[in-house]
Amino acid sequence: MHRPSLLLSLLTLLTLLTAAPLPAIGYRPLPHLRPNSSDLRFGDSKKYEGSSDFVHLRYHMGPVLTGSITVHTIWYGQWQKSQKKIIREFIGSFSDVSAKHPSVAGWWDTVRLYTDQTGANISRTVRLGEQKNDRFYSHGKSLTRLSIQSVIKSAVTAKTKPLPINPSNGLYLLLTSDDVYVEDFCGQVCGFHYFTFPSIVGYTLPFAWVGNSAKLCPGICAYPFAVPEYMQGLKPLKSPNGDVGVDGMISVIGHEVAELATNPLVNAWYAGQDPVAPVEIADLCEGIYGTGGGGSYMGQLLNGKDGATYNMNGIRRRYLVQWLWNHVVSYCTGPNALDQ
């Protein structure tokens, strides 16, 4: 666990003041970033974890995922078996209530607090669905936001073992390997979610993209297991699963899946006046991973005997996952909170 120095705080403040606005529905896990919305004003924190009476997170009457959720995965590019296993076990941990406290399933309990207009809660059940390998880069090694939808179309219309079509409770997770560049990757986002256009894919399917930043920008998208060049003198933390790029992806995947469950068609739970650029339940807690988190401080984390840093347990592994906004108590919460 590391509390940043005064110099680090000044550097991160300078970066924040000079950074370009984040694009819609994107995420990068640097701890100093804050949502860019005129409707959000963070006052003095009651519990330090982003708490504010001025955050207006509202329900806009759109659907949320109340039925059993199935995550269909597209592995784009070259992936090692060990890397796939880390991510698969993370997704499988969402519903594993037997995992040691603090658990990924305990983290998902915050997502489950959100309801649709009938009062039905988001499903407790999240399972790994079908998987599709695209190891030969069918759409090249440089993807745009629209060509990502074409990759998904290829996966659901493939002649052999196509992914199932499940618009109501299916999530489509496109994961790109460390040699693939995606539009706005590294410079502005590490992942984003949206829904496919029928004109491209043939269906409206909620999807998310997350990239492996190990070669392109680990200091941006795999923080704190790698640090940006401007944070000279700050040592990276040891990743819990021995893979900096994949361990960095884990929190981004959690961020996007939580937002897909609560706002799959961008008309359900979000803050701000503009549905094109909504501020969602994970955006409100960017950079917060434990009690006391906020600004450039991630909060109280856990340290394993092997020196690895994490904040929750999965089926057989440990993970570092960002907290989520709890609209019932109006602050960011996570299973590793010291007051729970």
pLDDT score recorded for residue 52: 53
The answer to whether residues 264 and 207 touch, using CB atoms and an 8 Å cutoff, is no
Q: Is 118 exposed, middle or buried (0-12, 13-18, 19+ CB in 10 A)?
A: exposed
pLDDT score recorded for residue 4: 36
Structure tokens at 260: 């897909």
pLDDT score recorded for residue 312: 98
Cα–Cα dist 236/95, whole Å: 30
Given phi > 0 = left and psi -120 to 50 = alpha, else beta, which region is 50? left
CA 122 to chain centre: 17
Cα–Cα dist 34/294, whole Å: 10
Cα–Cα dist 215/186, whole Å: 11
pLDDT score recorded for residue 339: 74
pLDDT score recorded for residue 1: 36
Render 176-244 in DSSP notation, one character per residue. Answer: E-TT-EETTBTTTBSEEEEE--TTTTSS--EEEEEE--TTT-HHHHSTTSS--TTSTTPPPPBPTTS-H
Strand-strand pairing, 309-310 and 302-303: antiparallel
Q: Domains of the chain: which residue ranges? A: 57-282
pLDDT score recorded for residue 207: 98
pLDDT score recorded for residue 30: 52
**Mean pLDDT in order along the chain per 10 residues (340 residues):** 35 35 48 36 33 74 97 98 98 97 98 98 98 98 97 97 96 98 94 97 98 97 94 93 98 98 96 83 95 92 97 97 95 90
